[in-house]
Amino acid sequence: MSEEEEDDPQQQAELTSKQKQDIAKWFLTNSPPGEIHCIAKDIRSILSDEDAYNAAVSEAYPLYNKSHMICLELPNRTGDVLITTFGEIDEIEYLDPRTCQVATVNHVKQVCTNVRPATDEELPTSFIEEFRGALDAELVKYVAETYPKGSCSVYCISGKDVEGPGANFELAAVISASRHSPQNFCNGSWRSIWNIEFKDDLQVVELRGKLQVDAHYFEEGNVQLDANHECKDNTIFQSPEDCAVSITSMICHQENEYMASLEASYTNLPDTTFKDLRRKLPVTRTLFPWHNTLQFSLTRDIAKELGI
């Protein structure tokens, strides 16, 4: 086969419908915060395969909604529900522990279509609810003060049948905040997941956090930030109210420290990261003197080379 034939798109094998579906799904699940609808619209026009598009959308949207922990308003306006794996009852039903309701979700339209009361099996015991409810109340106050457009929820993910002291159980506290400003070519989100183990035998509460920051700036370019951080902390096992205050204080401290580290990295960005992106040794095999760039004059060098 000639080189011209190898480069000819007509001679290349056509992608199968499954391959198109997988590619479309990848782009959708990796969409920046708040931009999946726009990307889905573009993919649909490019793909020209309605079956592959619909299959990709049906698989990608639930994954995207859960990974970004999007917040949806309940249809009866009694509150909001976070779409997370912790509250997932089935593919379309998600628990809101604060209102003890289960929302039916349309993932593609990103709306709640129905709501029902949660059953006793879907909720923790009254003993666990004391700890969960106290932490939820403290977390709501913290999020309201810290994140202008933030939501939070606390789930019991282990030991929800515990009736009293003497057994271990685990809660998961999640915080999700986003700011979408497409008119200014900028979207971003903050997500943090805190696994909280209550160890009655050791009289200790252990905290494990996973923090994620995503940002996308796309005015005449495409700049994305994808940063994550993990941390640990612990406190003593106390009453529900005292535990809630201690845990929220630890979350506040860890998140503030991470935000401060991000701000410091932004300040040092021009002098560190941007310079590291350049070649260490140019074609001259001589290090470029970044500490004294004024000694170079492009006009002078060109004139010298041309003998002007």
Domain that holds residue 233: 124-267
What region, left, alpha or beta, does residue 185 occupy, with left being phi > 0 and alpha being psi -120 to 50 degrees? left
Among the residue ranges 75-84, 121-130, 256-265, 274-283, the one predicted with the least confidence is 274-283
Does a structural domain hold residue 43?
A: yes
Does a structural domain hold residue 119?
A: no
Whichever domain contains 50, its CATH number is 3.30.1140.60
- Nearest Cα residue to 262 out of 229, 224, 223: 229
Decide which of 67, 89, 105 is a domain's last residue: 67
What region, left, alpha or beta, does residue 34 occupy, with left being phi > 0 and alpha being psi -120 to 50 degrees? left
Amino acid 291: pLDDT: 61
Q: Work out the mean pLDDT of the chain and round it to a whole number.
A: 87
Whichever domain contains 237, its CATH number is 3.90.1150.210
Q: In what order do the strands lie in the sheet with 150-158?
A: 150-158, 169-181, 186-199, 204-217, 223-236
Chain CA centroid to CA 112, Å = 21
Amino acid 109: pLDDT: 95
Q: Give 187-238 pLDDT, tens digit per residue.
A: 999 999 999 999 999 999 999 999 999 999 988 888 888 999 999 999 999 9
Does a structural domain hold residue 306?
A: no
For the chain, report the end-to-end CA distance as a whole number of angstroms.
51
Angle at 58 between CA 68 and CA 56, to 5 degrees: 95
Q: Is the pLDDT of residue 177 over 50?
A: yes
Helices (H), 171-239: none
Angle at 156 between CA 62 and CA 31, to 5 degrees: 25
Number of domains in the chain: 2
Instruction: Please give the structure tokens belonging to residue 209.
Output: 């956090």
What region, left, alpha or beta, does residue 75 occupy, with left being phi > 0 and alpha being psi -120 to 50 degrees? alpha
Helices (H), 104-239: 126-146
Q: Which residues contact 27 (CB under 8 A, 6 or more apart)?
A: 39, 43
Q: Give 56-82 pLDDT, tens digit per residue.
A: 999 999 999 999 999 999 987 788 999
Q: Give 119-171 pLDDT, tens digit per residue.
A: 999 999 999 999 999 999 999 999 999 998 899 999 999 999 999 998 999 99
Same-domain pairing of 43 and 135: no
Same-domain pairing of 156 and 250: yes
Q: Give 89-109 pLDDT, tens digit per residue.
A: 999 999 999 999 999 999 999
Highest mean pLDDT among 15-24, 38-47, 239-248: 239-248
Q: State mean pLDDT over 233-262.
A: 95
Same-domain pairing of 63 and 136: no
Q: State mean pLDDT over 263-267.
A: 81
Q: Is the pLDDT of residue 10 over 90?
A: no
Does a structural domain hold residue 34?
A: yes
Q: Which residues contact 60 (CB under 8 A, 6 or more apart)?
A: 24, 25, 28, 29, 36
What pTM did the predictor assign? 0.82
